[in-house]
Amino acid sequence: MKDIWRPVAVYFTAAVPFVEGKGAVLLAKLLHLPRPLSSVLSIAGSYTPVPFLLYTKQGARLRDPKKKKLPSTFQKYVERYGCWALLVMIAVPFTGLGCWLGAILARMMHLDKHKSAVSIFIGNMIAVLLMTGCLSGIVALFHKILSII
């Protein structure tokens, strides 16, 4: 029972905007959590706010894209490719676009809520798994380098 704080910390870290699953994977690695558990907690934690951002009336004030200035790159690709662009932008872990911004962007661009939710989930899952794999590879490389020295 005393180690319950580690998975809880990873889950809630994943729910923080801009940190999301990518930062939670790093925290899980630092806390020595198993990879499958850290991936599941990171995916679940970072996806938790998405239904609230997409489906509640609170987000209705984000509806007019003319009032808010979107980055032209995001707007151009999302207008052209829709939910596929959203999925790719979220799936690449180094874009800085995560579930929070993806849901807000989908809401502002008037994308279908259900397709957006699925795209955000799949993109989030890909990003977390890529980040987990990259981080594991980097740590293994450092261990190998340190063992040689």
pLDDT by residue for the chain (149 residues), tens digit each?
Answer: 568 899 999 999 999 888 888 889 889 988 989 989 999 999 999 999 999 988 886 554 555 555 555 566 667 777 788 889 888 888 887 767 788 888 888 888 888 899 999 999 999 999 999 988 888 888 888 888 888 87
Model pTM above 0.75: yes
Does an H or E element contain 5, and which?
Answer: helix 5-14
